[in-house]
Copies of this chain bind each other. A is one copy, B any other.
Amino acid sequence: MFTITELSTERINSIVTEALAFANGKTAKIEGEVFCSNLFFEDSTRTKTSFDIAERKLGLQVVPFDASNSSVNKGESLYDTVKTIESLGVNLVVIRDKKDRYFDELKNIKIPVINGGDGTGNHPSQCMLDLMTIYQEFGKFEGLKVGIVGDVKHSRVANSNAEALRKLGAKVYFSGPEQWFDEGALINGTYLNVDELIKEVDVLMLLRIQHERHDAKMSFSASEYHRKYGLTKERERAMKKEAIIMHPAPINRGVEIDTDLVECERSRVFKQMQNGVFARMAILKEALEKQGYTFK
């Protein structure tokens, strides 16, 4: 699974259903000795550990791979590295890489490659866990209003989510600094002023301010961002009664969201992390079953 674009709504529904089953206590253990490895060429606590635990819960053997000590440091291409891992007998890999669509150069790899995030493009497993979290709450996507606030254009998560939600019948709104929203950013949703957006939506997805991606463009301070576009206590009070707050984390406390709201009643921030393990179990299981592996 590389992108959300490739997924039909049927397949999304099937993965969400399986993920919710895992969340409700279903277990599955792979039959036989199956090896996997997580090739993360970019920092990540959440995604890597989440996949790691999902793999162990499915009974896979996780072979450690340390990108910083790998032969990539000797100039080896991604293809040669993955082909090596495949040759060594690893049966599935999860990859995160800084390069957009890194998977295009992996066409000759025969084992399943799960996309753990590529550049600013796709992050399908995060998308699935977000969808699962929304479905868990509302039991549907059709007709829901979802607001995404932040740097949509440079966010893997926002792009995948907006596309999938639109496909599933939700209405997507965006907000944040206007200079971040040129035409390219608005394919899957409509721009609203943040205060309007907050009153309107059932789901408020806050994005992380990615200082590391656009320092030059950041013409405002963290506290200025918070005041203008962040979820302040005042804005939270303006939300609809049943509306929920989501954030892919890591959170910049006091920037995207007031620190006291991170664990407030309508926050699903840590619930998303819990769900992440179940969503990834569903994604991994689907990929392995397609290869003929069975579970008990």
**Interface of A toward B, CB cutoff 8 Å:** 33, 35, 37, 40, 43-46, 48-50, 52-53, 56-57, 61, 63-77, 80-81, 83-85, 87-90, 108, 212, 249-253, 262-263, 270-271, 273-274, 276-277
Assess the A277–B89 pair: CB atoms within 8 A. yes
Q: List 15 A-B contacts (CB under 8 A).
A: A33-B57, A35-B56, A37-B49, A43-B74, A45-B81, A45-B85, A49-B85, A49-B88, A53-B63, A57-B89, A68-B68, A84-B270, A88-B273, A88-B277, A89-B274
Closest to A64 in B: B64
A33 → chain B closest CB, angstroms: 7
Q: Give the complex CA separation of A80 and B259 in angstroms.
A: 11
Assess the A45–B250 pair: CB atoms within 8 A. no
Assess the A45–B253 pair: CB atoms within 8 A. no
Assess the B64–A45 pair: CB atoms within 8 A. no
Most buried by B among A45, A71, A76: A45
Assess the B45–A84 pair: CB atoms within 8 A. yes
Most buried by B among A67, A69, A277: A69
Q: Give the complex CA separation of A88 and B272 in angstroms.
A: 9
Assess the A250–B80 pair: CB atoms within 8 A. yes
Known: A53-B89, A87-B274, A88-B274. 7 other contacts (CB 8 A): A43-B70, A44-B71, A46-B84, A52-B64, A56-B63, A88-B276, A108-B263
In the complex with contacts A71-B44, A212-B74, A50-B250 CB distance below 8 A: no
Assess the A65–B90 pair: CB atoms within 8 A. no
Q: Give the complex CA separation of A67 and B48 in angstroms.
A: 12
In the complex with contacts A74-B212, A74-B250, A46-B88 CB distance below 8 A: yes
Assess the B71–A43 pair: CB atoms within 8 A. yes
A257 → chain B closest CB, angstroms: 12
Closest to A270 in B: B87
Assess the B46–A71 pair: CB atoms within 8 A. yes
Which residues of chain B have C-beta atoms less than 8 A from A85's C-beta? 45, 49
Which residues of chain B have C-beta atoms less than 8 A from A61's C-beta? 56
Which residues of chain B have C-beta atoms less than 8 A from A87's C-beta? 270-271, 273-274
A47 → chain B closest CB, angstroms: 10
Closest to A87 in B: B273
Assess the B73–A43 pair: CB atoms within 8 A. yes
Closest to A271 in B: B87
Assess the B249–A80 pair: CB atoms within 8 A. yes
Assess the A53–B35 pair: CB atoms within 8 A. yes
Assess the B43–A250 pair: CB atoms within 8 A. no
